[in-house]
Structure 1
Amino acid sequence: MTAGRRQSLFKRVESWAFHAYWNRISAMSLDEASNAGARFARTLGPITSAHKTARYNMRLAFPRITPQEEREMLDAMWDNLGRVVGEFPHLASMGLFTPESRADFDGLDILDRYVGTGQAGVFISGHFANWEVMPAAIVRRGVDCRVTYRPANNIWVDDTIVQARADYGVRLFAPKGPSGGVSLMRILAKGGSVAMMNDQKYETGVEAPFFGHMCKTADGPSRLAYRFKAPLQTMTVKRLGGVKFKVEVQEPMMMDFDASVDDAVHASVLRINRFMEETILKAPEQWFWVHARWPKKAWMDAGVMD
């Protein structure tokens, strides 16, 4: 069998397994799916390579963490991530902004500044709790916003994920290369907003400290905000227990538009990383620790590897 055929077969098997799980949790109620996802992830997660990545990242961020604290945080992290997966097919039934809403909100007056006013904003956040609640809240509130995302490697899996997001009103956009950047600028130029995650590794980004260790951070959101003199609008979500959340909309970050673009962007990236740190510290078990946020050299230099 050629390498191409093996790859195709693997993706088909991967898609079959994904959709078997997806169909099963889709048939459950929202709470049942969330609980099932938590049980599944707490069982499977610790035997994956992602578990080791999360462990090293936690040790890097919290050098004084005890073995017991580490075990508890890892278990709680898998509980949260499993719930995210379980809740994904049910996001349209979260009832946001209704009496049955699964989320409470602080700062809606800030979010409303972007509704029907022509005010463009660059929304930024991180992978906190169930991060899918944030874009759902943005669009359900009436903000004209396109949400950027990284497509799944498997096209059949990606199609299902895109459709699930479309079911609760989120229009996704995967910017690729220069043309993708131009498209984002066109959206902002017309008074629309864009939303991005700004807490993951970005190879061509700005080198900046994160929990005291240098790593690459995406500078695209800051460059877009600088170009259009737009606010960097932060939002966060925290899981209060089960399928109940608290969404906060903070006063936006305004860049120094009188400074040079490189100076302003660097200062902005530093502020964004501090914002991410502060949010993570409020509920560290609810962040996406399984991502290789720091380079392996940082792990080695800090002596966190087993």
Structure 2
Amino acid sequence: MAKKKNKGRRSPADWITDRVLRGIIAGLSLLPYARRVRLMGALTQHFIGPIAGYRKRVLQNLSMIDPSLDMNTKRAIAAGVLNNTGRTLIENYSGAQFGDHLSDAEIIGDGLDAVKQAHAENRPVLFVTGHFGNHEAPRQVLTKMGYSIGGLYRPMKNAYFNEHYAKTMTEMSGPVFAQGRRGTGGFARHLRSGGMGTLLFDVAVRDGVMIDFLGKPARTATSAASIALRSKALLVPYFGIRQTDGLSFKVVVETPIEHSDPETMMTELTRRLEKRISDNPEQWFWVHRRWKDFS
């Protein structure tokens, strides 16, 4: 696949931000894996997150969704969100070491047999998840089981950072496509050929349909359901749930979503993600402007 040059921002501030992040990632990569992950989590929680305004946005989103939450609870969730964000970033930049660390990860769920059967029948499988736990953990674990899973990703606004961010995904499993007419078309063709792919659906999009998310209406892309319907792909929610040690994961492959219409299917996907957030609120990326008003 010919790579299209990312047209994101390339301002001097973006260049500086990228070089700082590159330096942090390069420095941490010299450390042993477990220490590296813990340190990046702590740096993001105590320094990077607050300076970037992420902590403030998490608190604002929590207050909007549940005004009854006391400040101590909101602060505890925010700390967990930022720590998980840092850990996820450096894990995904750790490539083979992250994969090796997941070798003993527990994988469960009623969708495993359906995925196995679809693979045997050369039927496309579209995995869908959110920015929860580590969204790349399931793809890593399933890859080690012998599956090749491509990806459809949203390019970073900072074009400098996006150049190496995208590379981390291509090293995991299967072809990776950038969102957009050309990339989405390539991703759909990959599925129609009997391939497997994954995408994240929990970001606000201007042309999305309004679906309640955590009790508030949020514009939600229907692309996952539409692609699954057009390609006759099995639509399977999966999640990589961080465990209490902060380093290991449980991967859950859920029952496939029944094909119907895009809005109904995306509503069910939303409910599945909501359940995971309810169980572990600190593992969802509350930094997103998920309820953004595009008017």
Q: TM-score, normalised by structure 1?
A: 0.84
Cα 1:102–1:57 change in 2 (3 A) is farther
Pick aligned residue for 1:271 from 268, 271, 277: 268
Give the 5 Å matches for 1:11-90.
11-44=14-47, 45-90=49-94
User: In the alignment, does 2:290 pair up with 1:290?
Assistant: no
User: In the alignment, does 2:105 pair up with 1:103?
Assistant: yes
> 1:203 aligns to what SS in structure 2?
coil
Q: Between Structure 1 and Structure 2, whose CA radius of gyration is higher?
A: 1
Question: Deviation at 1:110?
Answer: 4.0
Give the 5 Å matches for 1:247-266.
247-256=251-260, 264-266=261-263
User: In the alignment, does 2:169 pair up with 1:165?
Assistant: yes
Over the aligned positions, Cα root-mean-square deviation in angstroms equals: 2.4
- Paired AA for residue 70 in structure 1: K
Q: Percent identity?
A: 25
**Residues of 2 paired with 1:92 and 1:57: CA distance?**
35
- Paired AA for residue 29 in structure 1: P
User: In the alignment, does 2:247 pair up with 1:243?
Assistant: yes
User: In the alignment, does 2:144 pair up with 1:147?
Assistant: no
**Residues of 2 paired with 1:50 and 1:169: CA distance?**
30
State the Cα deviation string for residues 212-231 of structure 1 (Å, max 9, x = none).
21110010011112223322
Residue correspondences, number: 283
Question: Deviation at 1:122?
Answer: 1.7
Q: Which runs of 5+ in 1 are unaligned?
A: 1-5, 257-263, 298-306
- Of 42-51 and 72-81, deviating more is 42-51
CA contact (8 A) 1:84 1:130 kept: yes
Cα 1:189–1:135 change in 2 (3 A) is same
- Paired AA for residue 137 in structure 2: V
Query: 2:213: which partner in 1?
Result: 210
Pick aligned residue for 2:139 from 135, 138, 149: 135
**Residues of 2 paired with 1:206 and 1:296: CA distance?**
12
CA contact (8 A) 1:121 1:188 kept: yes
Q: TM-score, normalised by structure 2?
A: 0.87
- Paired AA for residue 267 in structure 1: T
Question: Deviation at 1:135?
Answer: 2.3
- Of 147-156 and 194-203, deviating more is 147-156
CA contact (8 A) 1:134 1:247 kept: yes
> 1:201 aligns to what SS in structure 2?
coil
- Paired AA for residue 59 in structure 1: S
**Residues of 2 paired with 1:115 and 1:231: CA distance?**
10
> 2:73 aligns to what SS in structure 1?
helix
State the Cα deviation string for residues 164-217 of structure 1 (Å, max 9, x = none).
33333353111312x333323322221112211011111111111111211100
Question: Deviation at 1:55?
Answer: 1.2
- Paired AA for residue 77 in structure 1: V
Cα 1:203–1:51 change in 2 (3 A) is same
Cα 1:50–1:70 change in 2 (3 A) is same
